[in-house]
Structure formats: structure tokens, C-alpha cells
Structure 1
Amino acid sequence: MHLRGLSLPFKSYLLVESADTYDGKYYTVIPEKQNKVRVVKVLMKRAQADKKYIKRILAERECMAKLNYGEGCAFIVKMLEVYQTPSRCCFVYESYSSVSLKELVQTYGVCSLEKCAIIAKQMVLALEYVHSKDKVHRDIRPKNFRLSPNGQLKLIGFENATDLKLGETLYMNLVLRTIDYSAPELIRGAHGHEVDWWGFGAVIYYLVTGKLLFAQYADRAEKKNAIRDCEKIDLSEMQEDIYGADLIDLLKSLLTEREKRLDVRKIKEHGFLSHKFVNSDYEEVVIDGTYLTDAELYQYNLELYPNDKIPVKVLEFTANNTATNLSMLDTVYE
């Protein structure tokens, strides 16, 4: 269908929900006759004079093409199609949950050690796959991991990913919009795949404590300097009787200097994660119903009832009635 210059490959679809973020506009849709939920990310080309912006778009497309080649990875979102118009780029992804790990903690509190271990295992498998394809993500944070009702995790957010072979070093600094999970060497300049394992450790710390590593710095410049100068995180406040010796040891081995940080083999062998570490772990997970937000139930219902009897309110757009409903999307398609 056509909406002010944007041509989607669907003559008709159900628009389930939309979200506007700093890196693009997101729509959850159900294409006509496909009975499958899709996530559509729309990027405007207004900033085409900004080479960094264009580079990010191309990097995301190329990275997803490489990661999705063949069978891909069950814990990484799949990009299905790419379209563009003179004013927009359109990435079509497989359906993934709208509930991030950040929202999980903010809504329901910190995770138990058992749930944290289940989540962490999937994070490791996702990052191991990314690195095996000579890529580094560089933006590992709770918001870039989405949790489905059955407990399966999906890694998203590849806008800052880049090519990098295992063992090599990239000499360029990267200051992200959200720096709370950035490794010190990412801000200093010279960095490798180890930055993702620092981010992994920072996410685990957040899941079990609900805190950010550098929360004491309100000023962004001060926080950036503190992260850049950090050699290791002081975890002395974490009590062993609450968090367990294995988890504390894992965090100490991740939130440290690049040279001392654990690699993926040692992470998978670590006592906190080593039991039953197989790709099918997520199939054994059943997240309690209280962990489902309204948004999650919304999408879950669509997957259970993909035909006309969908028990949720949706907006239907077809070639015949688009004009009458277009006003609803004026703020989206400016």
C-alpha cells in the first residue's frame, strides 16, 4: 500500500501498534493473507547529508544480511526484506516482542538468579553467533534484548555494529546515545569484541540489582569520563548470601580490563551458566503469566488468533479505505 511516498509490499495489512524512537519509526503489522506478525522499521532520508546517519543505515542492512544468511540464529532477530523510496528506507523484520529487558525490570522488579541465568545463556549464544560472523554489536543494553511470552530472547539494535575479526582491534572511539553499558575501551578508542562482553556483564548486573553501573554520575560528561578511566567495577556491595558466589565471580570477570575479561568459551564454562547449556534451553522456559505486559499479551493474542477473529482492536488499511484513515497517520508520515 502507499502512504505518502512509502510503498510497502502489502496491498492490505493490519496495523497493530506503532512506536517512535530516536533511531526510527516502528510498526507492528500483519500483512494480508500471510497471518504472520511483522515489525517494520522506517528510516527517514531527511538527514542524508549526515554521513554518519547513512553509514548506520547501510551498516544495519549489511550486518543483518550476514547474520541472517543460512539458518541464522534463534536468538537474533531476522531481517526479511528491505525497501526504499526517495525519502525513506524500510526494513521488514520478523515479529519480535515489544517487551525489553529494561521494561521487564522496571515493571516487575529484579530477576531471580534462575531467571537471570536463563536470560544470560541466550544472550551468550546470540553474541557468540554475532562474533563468529566477524561482527561486533557495540550497543549491548537491556533495551536491545526482547523477551517473548515463552521466555525466548531476541537481540536487536544493530545500527552500531561493524566488521571485526576475532582477536583484532578497531581503532576508533564510539560514544553511544546511551553510555551506561559502554565498555571503557569503547570510549577510549581501541576496542575489540570484548566490548560486547562488558555490556553483557553490565546487563546482568542490571537484571539482578536494578541499578546502573555509573548511576552516581548525573552529568553525562562526568559519567563519560568515569567510564573511560575505569579499570574495573567495585562489586564489594554485592552480598554473597543474596547474589551467590558464582554470579559475583562472573561479574568480576566481565566488568574488568579488556585483557582480563572472560572470552566466550570461559563464559560458557563458568559455574553460573555451565549447566545444560544447549541451544534448545529456551524451549524449556515458561515465564510466569505475571511477566506479560499488556503490550506482550496484545501481540501474543495476535499470534494465537491470526485470522479475522482477533480478540484485540486493530486498524485495518486496504487500498480502498486508506484515504479515509490516513489522517490517523499524519504525525507518522510527515
Structure 2
Amino acid sequence: MLASFKPNKQLVAIKKVSKKINESNYENIRKEARILKMARSCPFVCHPYAAFQSEVEAFFVLEYASGGSLYSMICKEGKLPVERIKFYTAEIVIGLQFLHSNGIVHRDLKPDNILVDKDGHIKICDFGISAEGLFGRKMISGLAGTPGYRAPEVLLLNEYNAGADWWSFGVIMYEIATGEQPFSPSGCALREYFLIKTPEYPSYMSKEMQDLLSKLLEKNKKKRLGVKGKIREHPLYATIKWNELEEKRMKPPFQPEMKSADDFNEISPEVPVDTSRRERVEELSYVDPTWHWQE
């Protein structure tokens, strides 16, 4: 939901998650709260302002990304200009490397979960099914993520780590460069299809981007770029000044429109009617002390 605080009318996004009975989603809610609070030190991961809960739902107050998602951009524009692709994907690289250095594997990286803020910078969001504590050679197993973005090792139910995110990153780059996914997410022989099919690269795609994508969409997880090699040194990013990018001193190639709270109609969200009593989610409620929402 989009919301604002009176009287300053600052726009914020509110994510709500149902506190389900007889389902162990409480730990997922606590996990997302932990990751969001930790991620405040990275400029390219969605930042939380506060979290609270009602009897039946948990709420996260997040920064509002007025540029929408990469998915909405693909739907509106098809493939994106090359300079925007390089800028966005370079910021995603920084965000992913930050998460991975803290033992976090996103596990559901896709265009819907990559937002663009009012200044034109990337924000990775939605950590509900992320995995924590994956340091060094530690692995996890189990099917997770969205069809079309799952790495081969995830589809085959093998063990995996951060390499699964780099595969998803490669799919996203291909999609914003072409307007299409490199692999079809449907079909009864999906696992075999992924293992034998090689992506087709259009003639207009630069050799540098084709080379990078071939290294990201490497089916052998041990050879995949991101896990092996230094992705920041790839020729596609030759013009990227990483220090300036990390400090948000590089000018974004596109700045979205930022509406004010007065541009939106005010509505009252529906309040769920549920007489079943839920337990309180511990370690959830907080307010970022640096958020001056009353000013």
C-alpha cells in the first residue's frame, strides 16, 4: 500500500503480511525484519522506516520507490537502453555482493523485486524466502523462487548458495536487454529443457553483454561468474566507476517522476475480519531512530 504521514505528507510504502494460523510464517516475518534492518547500510537494498503488527497482520513501513519495478519498465518499454541496463545491473551487483557478504541469499530475485527510487537508483526488495547464514561453503537445498528465474541446481533440488542469485541476475539482465526471458518458465519437461537449452542472443546485443550473460547463465554452478571471477572487472562495466557508484555519486540515466501525497486519492484499506487469535511476533516492532517522520 502507498501511504503518507500527516502533516509532512511523506510518501511511504507499507507491506503487510498475514500472520497465518497453523503455518510457520512467523519466522519468515522475523527474518525479513532482520534483513531489512541490517540492509540499511547498503544504498541499493530497500530500507525500512518502521515495523508494527495488528492481531492478524504484520506491517513493514518502507521507503517509497516512485519509479516502480523493473518488471513495470519491461511491460511499458520492452527492452531498456544499454546505458540504463549497465547502470541498473551494476547497482544490483553492489546490492547482491552486500547481501552475500552478510550470508544472505535472496532466492527470489526477479524484475518484480527490483525497484527504482525517486532518484533513479535500484532498490532490491522482498526477503520473505531469503536464506541466512550462508557463509563460506555452506549450502542450502529446497525449491524456492519464481519459475523462469530458478537456477538449474535449484530446479534439480541440489544444494546451492549465492550462485543461484547470480543465475537469476543473468536472467534479469537478459530480460531487460531483450524484453523476453532466455528460458521458458512453462513446459512439462522443464528441468531437462533448462539443462540442454542455450540462450539465443540477438544480433543487436553487444559482444560484451553476450559474454557476460554466457558466464552468468553457466549451468555449472562452480564455474558461474559471481561465484568464480570478478564480475566488476568484466568489460561490460569498463565505464563504471565503482567507488562513485557505491557512494551514489554517478548520475542515474533516468529519473522517475515523483508525485506528492496530494496527487493521490485517499482511501481506507479493508480491515480483515478474523476472530482467530494470533500470537505476537517477537522482535518485530521498531522505528528507525534516524527517521524524522514527525518533522
TM bucket normalised to smaller: 0.7 to 0.9
Pairing of 1:151-166 with structure 2 (within 5 A): 151-166=120-135
What is aligned with 1:271? 235
Residue 6 of structure 2 aligns with an amino acid whose one-letter code is: E
Separation in 2, partners of 1:79, 1:148: 14
Figure out how many residues of one structure are paired with residues of the other and give that number. 267
The residue number in structure 2 matching 1:11 is none
TM-score (norm 2): 0.82
Q: 1:314: Cα distance to partner?
A: 2.7
Counterpart in the other structure of 2:272? 333
2:2 aligned with 1:36? no
Deviations 1:234-258 (A, max 9, x none): 13x314x511111001011110111
Indicate how the Cα distance of structure 1 residues 184 and 244 shifts in structure 2: closer, same or farther if over 3 A, else same.
same
Q: Which amino acid aligns with 1:48?
A: I
- Structure having the larger proportion of residues in strand: 1
**Kept after mapping to 2: 8 A contact 1:63/1:162:** no
Structure 1 61/189 Cα, relative in aligned 2: closer, same or farther at 3 Å?
farther
Deviation sequence 1:141-182 (CA, Å, 0-9, x none) = 111111235321111011111113343232321233x22111
Residues 103 and 132 in structure 2, CA contact (< 8 A), matched pair in contact too: yes
Q: Deviations over 1:68-102 (max 9, x none)?
A: 3xxx1111111221212221111111222361111
Task: Report the TM-score, using the length of structure 1 for normalisation.
Answer: 0.73
Task: Say yes or no: does 1:96 pair with 2:65.
Answer: yes
Distance 1:87 1:142, change over 3 A: same
8 Å Cα contact 2:87-2:253 kept in structure 1: no
CA 1:285–1:65 in 2, change beyond 3 Å: closer, same or farther? closer
Partner of residue 278, structure 2: none
Contact 2:17 2:57 in 1 (8 A): yes
Alpha-carbon separation, structure 1, partners of 2:55 and 2:82: 49
CA RMSD of the aligned region, Å? 2.3
Select the residue among 135, 139, 145 that pairs with 2:104. Answer: 135
Q: Which residue in the other structure is 1:50 paired with?
A: 23
Q: Kindly, what percent of the aligned residue pairs are identical?
A: 22
Partner of 1:284: 251
1: CA distance, partners of 2:22 / 2:191: 28
8 Å CA contact 1:166–1:193 kept in 2: the answer is: no
Partner of 2:216: 254
With over 3 angstroms needed to count, the CA separation of the structure-2 counterparts of 1:32 and 1:247, relative to structure 1, is same
**Alpha-carbon displacement from aligned partner over 1:44-64 (angstroms, at most 9, x marks no partner):** 22x23112x333222211222
Q: Distance in 2 between matches of 1:168 and 1:66?
A: 22
CA–CA distance in structure 1, aligned partners of residues 192 and 38 of structure 2: 35
Aligned residue for 1:115?
Answer: 84
Larger Rg: 1
Q: Which residue of 2 aligns with 1:180?
A: 148
What is the deviation of 1:66?
2.4
Aligned to 2:265: 314
Partner AA of 1:33 in structure 2? P
| Contact 1:149–1:287, Cα closer than 8 Å, also in 2 | no
Question: Residues 164 and 193 of structure 1 are in contact (CA less than 8 Å); yes or no, is this contact kept in structure 2?
Answer: no
Aligned partner of residue 38 in structure 2, secondary structure: helix
Q: How much has 1:214 moved relative to structure 2?
A: 2.1
Residues 251-300 of structure 1: CA deviation (Å, up to 9, x unaligned): 11110111111127611000001322332457412417xxx5xxxx4xx1
Contact 2:84 2:253 in 1 (8 A): no
Cα distance in 1, alignment partners of residues 50 and 192 from structure 2: 40
User: Secondary structure of 1:159's match?
Assistant: coil
Q: Which residue number corresponds to residue 38 of structure 2? A: 66
